[in-house]
Amino acid sequence: MHGNVREWVQDLYHDNYSGAPPANGAAWLEGGDPGERVIRGGAWFMDPEFGRSANRAKLPPETRNNFVGFRVAKTLDHYNLVSAALPSE
């Protein structure tokens, strides 16, 4: 999923991981720089070693260009996945 565009994430930018980001995967919205957001991964014009989710940088949230995007995801519960796969009567 990496390598097409750098991905915006909701986290505020922090210079390092001191202060412990949330362990549950929630966005890190405490502290940090409110004028900068994290972008992760690599983009179509970057060298392959930048195509990792651990690669991060910062940009102001109003930035627009052709190498930063975002993904929309929805978590499905097991019941919905199983019932959608069953043949209807």
Q: Where are the domains positioned within the chain?
A: 6-85
Residue whose pair of structure tokens reads 């940009």 in the numeric block: 59
- Residue 1 has a pLDDT of 52
- Pairing type for strands 56-59 and 33-40 reads antiparallel
DSSP per-residue string spanning 3-27: SSSEEEEEEEE-SSSTT---TTS--
At 1-53, the pLDDT tens digits run 556 788 888 899 999 888 778 888 889 999 889 999 998 888 888 888 787 87
- Residue 2 has a pLDDT of 56
Name the pLDDT band for 89 (thresholds 50, 70, 90): low
Beta carbons of 49 and 2 less than 8 angstroms apart? no
